[in-house]
Amino acid sequence: MTQLSDYPTEKRYQALVLKTDRLTPEDTDEVREILLEVDDPNFQIEVNQSFGVLVRANGDFGNTYHHRLYSVADVPKAVGGKLQIKMLVKRCGYVDDFSGELFKGIVSNYICDLKPLDEIQITGPFNLAFNVPEDEESNMILVGMGTGIAPFRAFIKHIYNDIGDWKGKVRLFYGAKSGLDMLYMNDKNSDLTQYYDQTSFEALQAVSPRPKWQDPINLDQVLEGRAYEIKQLLAMNNTHVYIAGYKDVMKKLDIAFANILGSKQKWETRKKELIAGGKWAEVIY
């Protein structure tokens, strides 16, 4: 498995913050969409790639850099000869079990605190596991959680805006704590809803039954609710399954797929086939 330390950081670019918007309400976890501009023709990035952000911080042995990767959250575009890219960032932190002290995530808080005209250092681009299928009749089962919606949003916009008449079925299963946390599918920003009129596209939402109690998102229940269609899609050789999101949900997803196919053995066999055929990909954090 590739580790963050495996990604090179020697080649760096300056990016200018053009815009920063909070996508979630004040009483929920803060998630921001950041619009960056890169004025360097050597930096080119695609919808199936990510880039890194470097942040200098004081460590135990002097200054050090923290490096984090972010998926492209929209189709990159050139404006006035400069490249514009979007990213999604959740302000992170954790409470120490022993001391009860809150520790803020260094990179996420740095990015969320940025203002327009600030400059940051970025690296990459780096290839994601998700590739747009060459066959426009390919089916896709996309499962995203939280900011894991970012690569799929870029994906969906690309295949319907740039490629055009996508004939395969695209099913997006998107999980968040609550309806207020549904990025690009809420009252403030309904970007993904514009594709609901596409005959091949459908988005299905999953939330936590008790978000304030940190109950897990019920993506497994929503998947099993579409068991008949998913079973049909998994029986086809041109179906791709892409998953982006939280590690603790993966076990539930495997159970859901096993229930849909009728047994754990059947799902393990089908999953191995998808992996061997390059039609299974996951980005888990």
Domains and CATH numbers, the chain: 4-127 (2.40.30.10), 139-284 (3.40.50.80)
pLDDT at 210: 45
Q: Which residues contact 285 (CB under 8 A, 6 or more apart)?
A: 245, 246, 247
Per-residue model confidence (pLDDT) at position 211: 46
Closest of 191, 151, 134 to residue 283, by C-alpha: 151
Mean pLDDT of 102-109: 78
71 burial via Cβ count (<10 Å: 0-12, 13-18, 19+): buried
Task: Give a three-class secondary structure readout of the chain.
Answer: CCCHHHCCCCCEEEEEEEEEEECCCCCCCCEEEEEEEECCCCCCCCCCEEEEEEEEEEECCEEEEEEEEEECCCCCEEECCEEEEEEEEECCEEECCCCCCEEECHHHHHHHCCCCCCEEEEEEEEECCCCCCCCCCCEEEEEEEHHHHHHHHHHHHHHHHHHCCCCCCEEEEEEECCHHHCCCCCCCCCHHHHHCCCCCEEEEEEECCCHHHCCCCCHHHHHHHCHHHHHHHHCCCCEEEEEEECHHHHHHHHHHHHHHHCCHHHHHHHHHHHHHCCCEEEEEC
pLDDT, residue 201, reads: 82
pLDDT at 114: 94
Highest mean pLDDT of the ranges 182-186, 202-206, 272-276: 272-276
How confident is the prediction for the chain on average, in pLDDT? 80
pLDDT tens digit sequence for 1-41: 445 556 778 889 999 999 998 877 777 778 888 999 999 99
pLDDT, position 233: 95
**Identity of the residue numbered 174:** Y
Q: How far apart are the first and last CA of the chain?
A: 12
pLDDT greater than 80 at residue 217: no
pLDDT number for residue 125: 92
